[in-house]
Structure 1
Amino acid sequence: MGGPLPRFSPPHLWMALELIGKHKRIGRGQLAKIMKLGEGSVRTILERLNKLGLVLSARGGSCLSERGKKLLDELPTISEIKLRYLSLGKISMISKVPGGSVRVTSGMEQRDAAVQIGGKGATVLVFKKGKLRFPDGIEVRKEADAILAISRPEEGDAIIVGFGDDRISAELATKAAVLSLLPKISKIFTELCRVS
């Protein structure tokens, strides 16, 4: 019958799309190595992305379809940031969610999403009244300049800083937290994870 269940989640699908877009064409083995997943899981990811018309697969590897490029363009970028005081892990990654502050409550949902995928956590910040703030309204002072320089937020944006012990776990933590603020896109990826 079948083998083990695939071990991936919505942030892995996002990561796969980004990697395929970055490399223009990439093979399953290389993708598995970069993502630190088994080839079986990556095969399933590619099959599901292909089924939805987001990637095109051929002997030389997979590439993004026009639909995949469009979806990738809708997703926020994630960058590494060096933090000293606010960091919870060896690596910190940051992303801006335009208009995302309206979906932020306490920030616990984003932190939990980051931890569930294996990250060290996530901090959620909002840009309101021209200032970088924690969800409770307290102004961020330490390291605010570094965060503002990278995220360049506008009024009402949410900023996610995800943490991990390595680049992959920090990136997945950040992606998981970001997806919790993007319900439409999160739903697409979640459905792809459930397809059998």
Structure 2
Amino acid sequence: MDIQLIINDITKPKQGNRPNFDEAHVIYAMDIIYKEQPIGRPTLIRKLGLGEATVKTLLKRLKESNIIKVDKVGGAELTELGKELLSEWNSKISIEKTELKSISWNSMMIIAKNEADLLNKIKVTQLRDMIIKAGANAALIAIIKSNEIELPPKTSEFSIPGLIEEIKKHCEKCENNDLIVFITPDDIHLAYKVGLILFENRVNS
């Protein structure tokens, strides 16, 4: 099953009311549940930064879509379907908090695995605009080609001493042909929104 179709269904308006969570909250919630299962609603409310009624609706819709099962005592756990869908996401997108000291950024790093060729489909300036529109204050886009870090377009914009080496240090888990995006502020929900942009536009399924 396609994770995009399912999360779109979970977030669609019902009875004319759009939920107070978005697609990024759905993926983030699934990730939290998987890492901490079984997890209770209070913990999920705190981690997601959403209200109790909103999280209750989110859990209800996840359960209706067979993404989670809920034990009244233990809390929520991913079903086998939920694990499969999250695995699909994690096979393409990786997110972690990162500090780029050379440009004084406390940022989130989003890696789209094997997606450097996405920049042949979308210009780097267009991708940056999409990320800013999603809520980022700034974005730095890098790719790995021939096992070297590149910052397209190849201009002097980011010719800052030590930046490439710093990115390389943070990208120890990166592989050739990966696309890496650094964003500020270091907001985890925003990082999932950017991850969704990359996931939805991927060229290598």
Q: Is the 8 A contact 2:118 2:201 kept in 1?
A: no
Post-superposition Cα deviations, 1:35-90, rounded to whole Å, max 9, x if no partner, equal 111112212222222222221122132111122222222323322111124455xx
- 2:179 counterpart letter in structure 1: A
Residue equivalent to 2:63: 50
Q: How does 1:104-143 map to 2 (within 5 A)?
A: 104=119, 105-108=122-125, 110-138=127-155, 142-143=162-163
> Are residues 137 and 52 of structure 1, via their aligned partners in 2, closer, same or farther at CA, if it must alter by over 3 Å?
farther
Q: Is the 8 A contact 2:111 2:180 kept in 1?
A: yes
Identity of aligned residues (%): 25
Q: Separation in 1 of the partners of 2:126 and 2:50?
A: 25
Q: Separation in 2 of the partners of 1:24 and 1:8?
A: 21
> Are residues 70 and 124 of structure 1, via their aligned partners in 2, closer, same or farther at CA, if it must alter by over 3 Å?
same
Give 1:118 shift. 4.1
Q: Is the 8 A contact 2:134 2:194 kept in 1?
A: no
Unaligned runs of 5+ in 1: 186-196
Residue equivalent to 2:80: 66
Q: Is the 8 A contact 1:120 1:173 kept in 2?
A: no
Aligned length: 178
Residue equivalent to 2:165: 145
- 1:8 counterpart letter in structure 2: F
Residue equivalent to 2:117: 102
- TM-score, normalised relative to structure 2: 0.73
Q: Is the 8 A contact 1:161 1:174 kept in 2?
A: no
Residue equivalent to 1:173: 190
Question: In the alignment, does 2:101 pair up with 1:84?
Answer: yes
Greater Rg by CA: 2
State which of 160, 172, 180 in structure 1 corresponds to 2:181: 160
Cα root mean square deviation, aligned:
2.8
Give 1:17 shift. 0.8
State which of 18, 23, 27 in structure 2 corresponds to 1:14: 27
Q: Separation in 2 of the partners of 1:47 and 1:108?
A: 39
- TM-score, normalised relative to structure 1: 0.75
Q: Specify the SS of the correspondent of 1:69.
A: helix
Q: Is the 8 A contact 1:110 1:176 kept in 2?
A: no
> Are residues 173 and 142 of structure 1, via their aligned partners in 2, closer, same or farther at CA, if it must alter by over 3 Å?
farther
Give 1:112 shift. 4.5
Residue equivalent to 1:93: 108
Residue equivalent to 2:43: 30
> Are residues 124 and 48 of structure 1, via their aligned partners in 2, closer, same or farther at CA, if it must alter by over 3 Å?
farther
Q: Separation in 1 of the partners of 2:166 and 2:21?
A: 32
Q: Separation in 2 of the partners of 1:69 and 1:135?
A: 35
Q: Separation in 1 of the partners of 2:71 and 2:16?
A: 24
Unaligned runs of 5+ in 2: 1-14
